[in-house]
Chains A and B, each alone.
Chain A
Amino acid sequence: KQEVTQIPAALSVPEGENLVLNCSFTDSAIYNLQWFRQDPGKGLTSLLLIQSSQREQTSGRLNASLDKSSGRSTLYIAASQPGDSATYLCAVSGAGNNRKLIWGLGTSLAVNP
């Protein structure tokens, strides 16, 4: 049974810092991995998707890496800004016909001005 763990559960940093959020999963037979952002009381915004055959994806100040064999992904945020404050969620999609997502609990990030 696939389980997804995110560390740390919460993080508070001063503006401008580079930071890394971690995601681990127990079953390496995944189809893809997505990182999402959720603002308080809002929906889920997809940030990056990494296919199982890929090693990393980049979008602006965000870089996500995937090491499928070790069951790990990291989300790197460069030069953090107060607007980056949100909950970041990691989810993996299984390799079967059903692409249902299995989720971590998320990392709550606060970037202080």
Chain B
Amino acid sequence: EAGVTQFPSHSVIEKGQTVTLRCDPISGHDNLYWYRRVMGKEIKFLLHFVKESKQDESGMPNNRFLAERTGGTYSTLKVQPAELEDSGVYFCASSPRGLASSSYNEQFFGPGTRLTVL
């Protein structure tokens, strides 16, 4: 079974440009999360999809960030226009839909996209 994949692995752009990150979750996983780690800081939650719906986007830094998950499959995270402070590693994770009896809701992570804004 394929794991969570992210594209690209690295992106270097100039301030003011637009970048789109993509995440393909594990097939069948309804939950999809985006996280970000800025150098020297802890990993922080950005947002959570359940299928194609945004469950919680309280971690999105500002309106320059736009996340979509069309059809409840892969997700994209677009940063427009990018600023220097957007540099960091963006992680995507997925987990299966929780079951009433028991679900660990273990989150499985992709390798991350390292974004550098110059």
Contact = CB atoms under 8 A, between A and B. Distances in A.
A56 B54 CA distance: 33
Interface size, A (range): 20 to 34
Interface string B35-60: 10000011111001000000110010
Chain A interface SS verdict (over half)? strand
Interface residues of B, number: 25
B111 A100 contact: no
A32 B45 CA distance: 16
Contacts of A98: 48, 55-56
A108 B40 CA distance: 13
Interface in A17-55: 31-32, 34, 36, 42-46, 49, 51
Interface string B59-82: 100000000000000000000000
Interface stretch (A58-66, A70-78, A89-97): A89-97
A100 B42 contact: no
A99 B105 CA distance: 7
A98 B45 CA distance: 11
B43 A99 contact: no
B87 interface: no
B106 A101 contact: no
B106 A49 contact: yes
B43 A91 contact: yes
A89 to B, nearest CB: 7
A34 B35 CA distance: 15
B7 interface: no
A104 B41 CA distance: 9
Interface of B: 31, 33, 35, 41-45, 48, 55-56, 59, 91, 93, 95, 98, 104-112
Given A31-B105, A44-B109, A99-B105, 16 more contacts: A34-B107, A36-B109, A42-B111, A46-B106, A98-B55, A98-B56, A99-B31, A99-B98, A99-B107, A101-B35, A101-B45, A103-B35, A103-B42, A103-B44, A104-B42, A105-B41
What 6 pairs between A and B have smallest CB-CB spacing?
A43-B111, A44-B109, A103-B43, A100-B45, A98-B56, A103-B42
